[in-house]
Amino acid sequence: MLNTDNYKERSKIAEKEKIAQAINVDFNQAFFDARGYLAFGSASMKDSALAQEKKIKRSAKKFEKITTTDDDEKFLDNVNEFTSFYFEDTLPLVISNYKVGNRQEIAKMANEQVTSKVTTFQKQMQDYIQDLDHSLDSHFQKLITMQSYIQLIFLLFVLIVMVILLVIMMYMFRQLGQPLARLSIAANEMASGKEVSISLETKREDEIGLLSKSFQQMVEKVQEKEQDLLAHNEELIAQQDELQAQQAELQNAMQTLNENSEKLKNRNKLVNQLSGNIDLQYLLDSSVVNMCKIIQADKGIIALAEEPAYASFGISPSGANQFLQNMKDSLCEQLRITKRPYSFKRKLDVSEKGYHEGDFYGYDLYLPVLSSDEDLIAVMIFTRYGSPFEESQMEEFLALSNSVGVSLDKISLFQKSEKDRKQNQDILNTLQEGVQLIDKNGRTLQINDHLQELLECEDYVLLGMSWEEWIEFVKEKVKEKQIVLFLENALHSNSELDTFIYTLESSQKVIKVYSKKLYHDGVKIGTVLVHRDITKEYEVDQMKSEFVSTVSHELRTPLSSILGFTELMINRELKPERQKKYLTTIWNESKRLTALINDFLDVQRMEAGKQTYEKKYFNLLPMLSKVIEAQQVSTKLHQIILEPCSPPPFILGDREKMEQVFTNLINNAVKYSPDGGMIKVKLTYIDQQVKVEIIDHGLGIPEEAMNKLFTKFYRVDNSDRRKIGGTGLGLSIVQEIVKNHDGEISVQSTLGSGSTFTVLLPAALSKEMDMEQNDMRESTEGYHILLIEDDKSLAELIKHELVENGFQVIYHNNGADGLQSLHKTIPDAIVLDILLEDDEFDGWRIMQEIKQSSRLQHIPIIISTALDEKEKGISLGAMAYLVKPYQPSQLSKTIMQTLLKVGKEGQILVPQEEHAEG
């Protein structure tokens, strides 16, 4: 009865374990199919995963019928609860997210709840199955123990019976003697297991008779019991054999379960390492190691198809290099074409057999690793010794290789995005503006190097800074506290563009910041702040404002004098001496005004790159003497001394421009020495250069102004200099002219002790100088000049100047008459205005007509115009280009120099019909 109960109980436990194993297998199949669907998008895997729900529920109903313990009920509740969670709540949501491509939400669900619940449920399943195994083992041990007790009891029973019989026999032997001998023999035979057959005197009525009867009955009973015990023992042995067979079967099932569990563990480890890492080499290493464990390979290698990256397991470096060098062979090419795995058998090489002798075989498995575009991106090869790779496992192997391909695709995308990110950062770092990207909450997401330089902060300390930290940082750095309001508006307002100018406390840099909203698909994702250093522009704007004020004063002063004295001369009768004095003043102020306007024009030409120079070899000494003489006349407080050098300092340059340079420098020395004193102009030679020093003992220059001294519009901000006046253009023009003569200008100064300006110019010591030493006042009788000028007053002035210098002048006030006169008389030179009242024949048109005529194209043309386009005039054939206003004597001198070069060409023509001429 005990054995039967034990057997029934053990059968129930085995049935429970069988159903639990089935449920576990179905869940694992569902997990595997769901992951396969997410990895490869296979609809069949999705259907298979969903189909496991019905199998699990059927198994749960079977299990419910045989539940007997609280643990069984708990297990059943766990199964039902997890079935509802996984198949009703989680899996449909995952499938819908996958269909819309929301992989981030899937990853988030996996990380937050699904993975942990799956792991917990699998552990509960394993624990319950192990408990059932322990319970089976316990019942088996209990059955063995019960059999041992039954045998022991039987032996004790036999022993007791034998003792009783022995006592009786001894008693009978003592009491009865021989009558009991046969009983003794019979008892011995019965004890030895022999079949007893005795004939006693059972008819006796005494104790012997009764004993004989009883003994006879006892023998019969004993024999009967013995038969029962033998039959029962045989049954127990059969049951023991059955139990041992079931135990072996359970051990095999447990071994299979452990192997499957180990495979799942390695597979999960592979999947986790593939999905949670972006390091390419780490991915390759973990892939080949885990794949070897999963497919039970002895060694393997994975190598990228287009990049020199690989990982191996159980392969020497030389073997790996050999494979990489021959990777393009037919075997790997077969993978590229078929995109299917394959395996083949080969005889092991000597190096693979170790100490074994004879022929042994290995099996190589070739697996393609495909990208999402079905391109071969890597090759995996694994080798197993002794046992082949089953054809039925190929799909499983291919699924694993596809998982590796998905991870390689992910790393490739990450590397590409990282490259793009670095490239974008490098582009930002090349910008001269500081760029700052903040999100909707004000956290700084991205900056460039220039922003760190502008704000004078350590490397990327701003990156990741919260809005509150950024505001505190700005408050410490910036003077203008209103910037906080600007930043708040930039972050929260909807205005597209806003600007603010602020100053840094430490460096005094002036920075302009503007904001721009950043949108993605119409949704605001942040704000871009661009910080631009406008310190120089700010200073220039200040200097320009100051310049406008200064220029208005500098222009009005000479104009007031000119207008005032002109009004006096018109409205009053003045003595000749006073008229001369007034005219002299008007002339001087006009020259001053002309010089001021010329400065403006020079700056404009220099900025536009249109300034031209007529360079010739000339001696600096006479030019400097002339400048010093002109400056000495205007001052009685100063003594200007010239210290010449030997030999005479010849240079190649534009005499007029160099005169402008030294006039400006010597005039500055006079102006900025208000108390008078000696001014020295010293010439020396140094390293094939002429060195000219202008030394004064005046106010000097502050140290902070030295690096801005040659900047346009800059004037030293000091009250004792403000009284002196000036536009702030002179030194910038001087520097530009010196540079264009391949020279250098520098200054040394001590505040309150004076300054020394040094000009270095290339010397022309051994060159034969092309100096015009001809007498410019030689006879000019017979030279005819054609003057075309629409301004009658200026034309009268020019005509008067030329006639006084001996020229014969033919004057026309429009281009048509001028061209007509050329048919009658060919002049020796033409003085031509560009901007004429006759729109049909302006100066440019007249030049083209002249240069296109073979009879007229040799006539030298001197342009006299207010239009500053010297390069165009020279390119069209002008010999000289004078920009109004200029001194009339300069025109006479230019015509004389030109005619001395080209000779006398004027002649009278007899009117005749011209053919095909300009």
Q: pLDDT tens, 389-414? A: 888 778 888 888 788 888 888 877 87
Percent of the chain's residues with pLDDT above 70: 84
User: For residue 684, what pLDDT band results from cuts at 50, 70 and 90?
Assistant: very high
Length of the chain: 918
Buried b (16+ CB within 10 A) or exposed e, 374-395: eebbbbbbbbbeeeebeeeebe
Q: Whole-prediction pTM value? A: 0.39
- Backbone φ, ψ for residue 384 (5° rounding): -125, 135
Residue-wise pLDDT for 292-344, tens only, equals 888 888 889 888 888 888 898 888 888 888 888 877 765 677 777 788 888 88
Question: Cα–Cα distance between 624 and 665 in angstroms, integer?
Answer: 11
Q: Supply the pLDDT for residue 25.
A: 87
Q: Supply the pLDDT for residue 268.
A: 65
Both structure tokens of 604: 């404009």
Question: Cα–Cα distance between 59 and 76 in angstroms, integer?
Answer: 10
Percent of the chain's residues with pLDDT above 90: 6
The closest alpha carbon to 709, from 667, 748, 682, belongs to 748
Query: Higher pLDDT residue, 830 or 275?
Result: 830
Both structure tokens of 115: 């993975």
Q: Supply the pLDDT for residue 767.
A: 44
User: For residue 906, what pLDDT band results from cuts at 50, 70 and 90?
Assistant: very low
Beta-carbon contacts of residue 57 (< 8 Å; ≥ 6 apart): 83
Report how far apart, in Å, the C-alpha atoms of 588 and of each of 582, 585, 597 are: 10, 5, 14
Q: Supply the pLDDT for residue 863.
A: 92
User: For residue 451, what pLDDT band results from cuts at 50, 70 and 90?
Assistant: confident
Both structure tokens of 86: 């996984």
Q: Supply the pLDDT for residue 678.
A: 92
Q: Supply the pLDDT for residue 777.
A: 42
